[in-house]
Amino acid sequence: SQPGAATPVAAPMRDLVWGKLNVLHTTDTHGWHGGHLQESQYSADWGDYVSFAEHLRRTADEQGVDLLLVDTGDRVEGNGLYDASSPKGQYYYDIYREQHIDILSTGNHELYQASTADEEHRQTVPNFRDNYVASNLDYIDPKTGERSPMAQRYRKFQTKNQKLDIVAFGFLFDFTGNANNTVVQPVKETIQEEWFQGAIREQADIFVVVGHVGVRMQEYKDIFNAIRKQNWFTPIIFFGGHVHVRDAIAYDSRSFAIASGRYFETIGWMSVNGDLKKSKAPSVEAALSFNRRYIDNNLLGLYYHTGLNDSTFPTEHGRNVSTAIAKARKELDLDHNFGCAPRDYWMTRTPYPHDSSIYTWLEKEVLPEVAVSPSRKDIPRLVILNTGAIRFDIFKGAFTRDTTYIVSPFLSVLKYIPDVPYDVASKVIVLLNNAGQIMNVASDGVPDARFMAIPEQLAIHESITYPDAASLHSDGKADSDGQQQKPLGTGSKDGGEPSLVEGYTTEDDIGTDGDDAVHSNINFYVVPNCIQAEVGFPASDEEGGSSPPDTVDLVFFDFIQPWVLLALKFSGGEDYSAKDIQQYVEGTFTELMVGWIKENWPKDC
């Protein structure tokens, strides 16, 4: 782990179940390769993962079984280690490549900005030349304009120990928000292609599908059906991402899919047992068993699974990678403190609105002061932020350069439409938050309205709350010890058994025993797609009432422009179009937010 990272804490553990084929899975790491320095439960880093994989590979060799590593994209955007350099990713590419990964694919975050896609093509694809798979993604060369596959369409190889024939695919969901130097082919079209139809007819002991696709999304069901139609008995395993949750599902008795969370909090584990080698199998229908484990990225857990300790666990290679990360973090000055958060601010651990909701803080404190255009400062405005623009909680204590990108990594700017009649503008937020029921977004070519919210809500549609969840005290105030996780053994509920550490308590289709560490529950409150701040409105009169202005400036994050224009159509503003939209203030929202923190939070914690 990194210097200064929270000391890992122990928890009761569940073992890894080994099979003939075993797979470690990372997804949606979003630049968190230095680990979670403020959270004891997830503070191991990419170097520790390199050591972990080295030990497990040795175990696999000793047992004569196989271990593969896979990664399903969204490796960038979301942490200072990637975002704080100029150009972005100056250190990340060389750190990431140090892990040996057998099959990897692209996420949507590698494609939002043309420059990110260029670097993916220029660096990560060649760094993993034989292993990178791009089944439905093309890249357009900026010099020649030539369009070609981002990487090989599929990968066929044999495993090291059992010589299992693997046919592997690498997909991205039907993403439409990519910059114009890539082309994402809809999955339904890809599976009709001649090359795909040929690939699923290859001799395979097992098909492995890695993809930046939620395991319950239609795209994966379509791929499963296409492979299964051609291969009645061959096992098919899927590794999914994008939705930021831990999840597992079996599409039938000879297939299995897992999703392994987000932000390098989780290392997914899947094992397949049974007679996998077709030529050796007495019957192609012989029973298979699948196991999954969601490994917390916690050094103590990694020691536990390898039977090692702090002196025997780090390998030379792993240690070197941790050192390279520490050097990069230092050069990027990621610990530089911009101000001290007076309390924790949660995204989903508290309801919105709430004093400790990050969205309430933005609505009441930040947006009113940063959404100010020098030339229009006297004009009342409605300022709309999509909740998905915020990516992580703020913990009490130092808000650093690293925290800046952890909370707000995107290059989003505030746009506006001037002088919109109030009765039209005020309906927009209602429509954005109830879009599914009111606006037929898909038919207007506007993406699914759920993309405005945080990715977790693609999977979680209703709040999940527990009577014993401990993120809030009974007086409604957030815990104020500055850490999300409370160390095991530091306290007990009633002076008896030590309290469990708060963390994932996953329930998937297989059951409730997926997490490697036993945790206490954390609440998850569903948040709206968007929140709105009313800024510069006339002050209330003595009776507490005031009449709204006739017109307002409608200010919003550029990311939600397509939905805002559609909502305006439905609320009587059908004449508005992209031509009416201008930038409202200079600078990205991230810069504006940090400016606010520097001004408003004390320097000394």
Ligand X SMILES: Nc1ccn([C@@H]2O[C@H](COP(=O)(O)O)[C@@H](O)[C@H]2O)c(=O)n1
Site for ligand X in 22-51 (CB under 6 A): 28
The 3 state secondary structure assigned to 256-271 is EEEEECCCCCEEEEEE
220 binds ligand X, rule: CB under 6 A: no
Phi and psi at residue 383, to the nearest 5° = -115, 120
Measured at the CA of 408, the angle between CA 407 and CA 414, to 5 degrees, comes to 145
Helical H segments across 366-462, by residue range: 367-370, 401-407, 422-433, 435-438
Q: Name which of 280 and 461 has its Cβ closer to ligand X.
A: 461
Cβ–Cβ under 8 Å, residues 511 and 249: no
174 binds ligand X, rule: CB under 6 A: no
Q: Name which of 112 and 524 has its Cβ closer to ligand X.
A: 112
246 binds ligand X, rule: CB under 6 A: no
Q: Which of 451, 504, 556, 584 binds ligand X (CB under 6 A)?
A: 451
Task: Please tell me whether residue 418 adopts helix, strand or coil conformation.
Answer: strand
CA distances to 67, 96, 399 from 93, rounded to whole Å, are 24, 5, 26
Name the residue type at position 451: F
# residues near ligand X by CB under 6 A: 16
Question: What residue number has its CB nearest to ligand X?
Answer: 388
89 binds ligand X, rule: CB under 6 A: no
264 binds ligand X, rule: CB under 6 A: no
The 3 state secondary structure assigned to 131-190 is CEECCCEEEECCCCCCEEECCECEEEEECCCCCCEEEEEEEECCCCCCCCCEEECCHHHH
- The nearest distance, CB 160 to ligand X, in angstroms, is 33
410 binds ligand X, rule: CB under 6 A: yes
132 binds ligand X, rule: CB under 6 A: no
Q: Name which of 212 and 329 has its Cβ closer to ligand X.
A: 212
The 3 state secondary structure assigned to 492-543 is ECCCCCECCCECCCCCCCCCCCCECECCECCCECCCCCEEEEEECCCCCCCC
Cβ–Cβ under 8 Å, residues 159 and 68: yes
Site for ligand X in 334-373 (CB under 6 A): none
- The nearest distance, CB 278 to ligand X, in angstroms, is 37
Residues 536-575 as x/- pattern, contact with ligand X by CB under 6 A: -----------------------x----------------
- What is d(CA 359, CA 346) in angstroms, rounded to the nearest whole number? 8
- Between the two ends of the chain, the Cα-to-Cα distance in Å is 24
- The nearest distance, CB 453 to ligand X, in angstroms, is 6
User: In residues, how long is the chain?
Assistant: 605
Q: Which span (36-44, 413-421, 447-455, 482-490) binds ligand X, by CB under 6 A?
A: 447-455
Site for ligand X in 57-76 (CB under 6 A): 74
List 557's β-bridge partners, or say none.
414
Q: Which span (134-142, 417-425, 445-453, 462-470) binds ligand X, by CB under 6 A?
A: 445-453
Residues 378-397 as x/- pattern, contact with ligand X by CB under 6 A: --------x-xx--------
Q: Which span (39-47, 107-115, 316-324, 354-362) binds ligand X, by CB under 6 A?
A: 107-115
Q: Which residues are near ligand X by CB under 6 A?
A: 28, 74, 108-109, 112, 242, 386, 388-389, 410, 412, 451-453, 455, 559
